[in-house]
Amino acid sequence: MADVEHRPTNFIRQIIDADLVSGKHSAVQTRFPPEPNGFLHIGHAKSICLNFGIAEDYQGQCNLRFDDTNPEKENIDFVNSIAQDVNWLGFKWSGDIRYSSDYFDALHDFAVELISKSLAYVCFLNAEQMREYRGNLTQPGKNSPTRDTAVEENLALFAKMRAGCFKEGECSLRLKIDMASSFMCMRDPVIYRVKFAHHHQTGDKWCIYPMYDFTHCISDALEGITHSLCTLEFQDNRRLYDWILTNISIACHPQQIEFSRLNLEFAVMSKRKLQTLVEQQTVSGWDDPRMPTIAGLRRRGYTAAAIREFAKRIGVTKQDNVIEMSALEACIREDLDSAAPRAMAVLDPLKVTITNHPATIEWLDAPNHPKDETMGSRKLPFGPVVYIDRADFREEANKKYKRLVLNSDVRLRNAYVIHADEVIKDEAGNILELKCSYLPETLGENPADGRKVRGVIHWVEATHAMPAEFRVYDRLFSVANPAAEADFLTVINPQSLVIKQGYAEPSLQGAIAQQAYQFEREGYYCADRDSAAAKLVFNRTVALRDTWGKTEE
C-alpha cells in the first residue's frame, strides 16, 4: 500500500482503507468501464484518474472493460479511441482489454438461472405499454399480464428469443422484483431484449442482448472487482446492482460507491449532446479542439499532465458542483509555462520597413525559454522588412498603451528599438505599411540618448517568415450552463473559432503535431495535424491570461 501520509484522501479511499484494515479485502481491484458509443470527455478523465489512480496507490489492479451491450450505437473506432485516451493519460490497465461481450454466455446462463428461480419472465408488453404499466413516482406500477407465467414456459420462450423467433420489440425478459417499489429501477426492469444487430466483438452470434444494468454488475463480479466506482446518477441503481448479485450463483459481490460527476462551465458533458454537435457539423468532429473530449483537448494542445492535475485539484466528493473553466485552463497554463519553448508569430501582420537598415540579414540569438537555460537558444533573422501585429500600432495613444505609436519608440523582442516615422495608407485610409528607423546600438542595450521606450512587441522578419494559419479557439458556448437552455445549439459562441492568416518565425518550420509553444504575447499554441511545410497550422490551446469576458484597454 502507498504511504498513507503522502496519499490524497477522500471518502472512497477511506472506505478502501477500512476494508483493508478489517480484512474484508486483501487487495484492491478497480475497473474503468466505458460504453464504446462515443469519445471520452473530460468527465471520463476524472473517472480514469480515480480508478487507475486508486489501483496504483494501493498496488492493486485496474481493468479496462468495454460495457458493449448496445451494438447499434457502438463500433470499433470508439473502442480504439478510448483505449488511446487511457494510454495517453498515462495509465496501464491490467492484462488484456476486457469486454462485457466476453461474458455473454455467462450472462445468458445467469438469466436462465433467474427464470428457473421464478425471478424473471418473458413479457410481451411493447415499449409504450411498459411505460404505462410502470406507473410513476406517485403511483405504483401494474403487473405485466405474463408476470406469473410458469417457469417451464418462460424457459421455452427465452430459448425462442435466443433462437430469433421473435421480432425486435415483440417481447423482452424482465426481472420479477416489485412493481410497487419507490425506486423505479426496481419495477421489473428489462434485462434482455431482441436485437438483430451485428456486434463488433461477437459478430452475428446473438440476436438477444443483455441490458446495461444486468450486464455491468455481473461483469464486475466475474472480474473480482472489489470497489465499483460510478457517478451519482447510478445511486438508485445500486439497489438493482445488489439485488442481481444476491440472487444469482456468484461468489463475488463488489461494493458500488458513487461520486459526483464532473460538470464544467461553458461545456456540455452529455454524449447525446456531443454527438448532436458532431452530426450537425457544429464542430468538425469528436476531436474538434473546442470539444471537451479528451481527443479534442489533446488536439488543442492540452497535456496529459495538466488533465491529471486538474482531476487531482477538483477532488472526489458526493456533492454535485460546477467547476469553472478557468480552473482547467489554469492547469494547462502552469504546465506549459515551464515546458513550452518560446517563439514569435504574427497573427494579423502589418508590414514595417526599417529605412536605415542595410539590405542584409543578420542573425540574432534568442533564448528558447527565459527561465530555463537548458532549453537552449535559436537564431532569428533580422532585416530591413519585418511584420508586427496590427494591434501593436496606433497613430495616437495615451500613456497606458505600451506598444508602438507614431513618433515614438518600442523594442522588438530580442532585437532593436525602433522609432515609428511614417504611416502609409491606401485611398480609403487603411494602414498599409509603417516606415520606421532602428537604433543600431540598442541590441541588448537601452538607447544611448536616454529616450523612453514604451514597451516590447513581437515581430517576424519578412523574407524568412513562414506562412501560417492560426486557429484561435475559445469556449464553445457563450453561457456558463448551455445544458440548461431550451436549445443548447442556440448559445454557440460565434467567436469560438477565429481563423487568422499570418506568419511564424522560421524556427517553427519543423513543428510536429501537438508540439506546444508559447507564442510571445499571443498565447500557448500547438501545431495541428493539418500543418505542413508549405503552410503551418497552429491551434491556440489557451490565452496567456484568463481574459474571458474582459475588455482590453
Q: Give residue-wise pLDDT tens across range 343-358.
A: 999 999 999 999 999 9
In contact, 90 and 239? CB cutoff 8 Å:
no
Annotated catalytic residue within 35, 223, 258, 505:
35
Q: What is the mean pLDDT of residues 39-51?
A: 97
Mean pLDDT estimate for the chain:
96
Annotated catalytic residue within 31, 65, 162, 271:
271
Q: Which pLDDT does position 548 carry in this prediction?
A: 64
Q: CA 104 to CA 108: how far, in whole Å?
A: 6
The per-residue b/e assignment along 282-314, b for 16 or more CB within 10 angstroms, e otherwise, is bbeebbbbbbbbbbbbbbbbbbbbbbbbbbeeb
Q: Which pLDDT does position 534 carry in this prediction?
A: 85
pLDDT tier for residue 1 given thresholds of 50, 70 and 90 = very low
Nearest to 483 by CA among 270, 181, 315, 314: 270
In contact, 387 and 460? CB cutoff 8 Å:
yes
Helix, strand, coil in percent for the chain, rounding step 5: 30, 25, 45
Q: What is the mean pLDDT of residues 447-475?
A: 96
pLDDT at 6 over 90: no
Structural domains of the chain ordered from first start: 4-259 (3.40.50.620), 271-341+468-542 (2.40.240.10), 349-458 (2.40.240.10)
Q: Which pLDDT does position 405 carry in this prediction?
A: 97
Q: Which pLDDT does position 9 carry in this prediction?
A: 85
pLDDT tier for residue 553 given thresholds of 50, 70 and 90 = very low
Compute the radius of gyration of the chain from its Cα atoms.
31
Tell me if residue 271 is catalytic.
yes
Write down the pTM of the prediction.
0.93
**C-alpha grid cell for residue 211?**
441490458
**Range of lowest pLDDT (103-112, 280-289, 312-321, 375-384):** 312-321
Annotated catalytic residue within 261, 273, 312, 351:
261
Q: Which pLDDT does position 320 carry in this prediction?
A: 86
Q: What is the residue-wise DSSP string for 309-354?
A: HHHHHH---SS--EE-HHHHHHHHHHHHHHHSPEE-EESSEEEEEE
Report pLDDT digits (tens) over 263-299.
999 999 999 999 999 999 999 999 999 999 999 999 9
Q: What is the residue-wise DSSP string for 12-57?
A: HHHHHHHHHHHTS-SS-EEEE---SSS--BHHHHHHHHHHHHHHHH
Q: Which pLDDT does position 4 carry in this prediction?
A: 47
Tell me if residue 131 is catalytic.
no
Q: What is the mean pLDDT of residues 144-168?
A: 98
**C-alpha grid cell for residue 412?**
522588438
Q: CA 1 to CA 5: how far, in whole Å?
A: 11
Q: Which pLDDT does position 2 carry in this prediction?
A: 45
Report pLDDT digits (tens) over 191-217.
999 999 999 999 999 999 999 999 999
Report pLDDT digits (tens) over 464-517.
999 999 999 999 999 999 999 999 999 999 999 999 999 999 999 989 989 999
Q: Which pLDDT does position 550 carry in this prediction?
A: 59
Tell me if residue 399 is catalytic.
no
The per-residue b/e assignment along 463-482, b for 16 or more CB within 10 angstroms, e otherwise, is ebbbebbbbbbbbbbbeeeb
Report pLDDT digits (tens) over 514-540.
999 999 999 999 999 999 988 899 999
**According to DSSP H, which parts of 177-247 are helical?**
212-222, 238-246
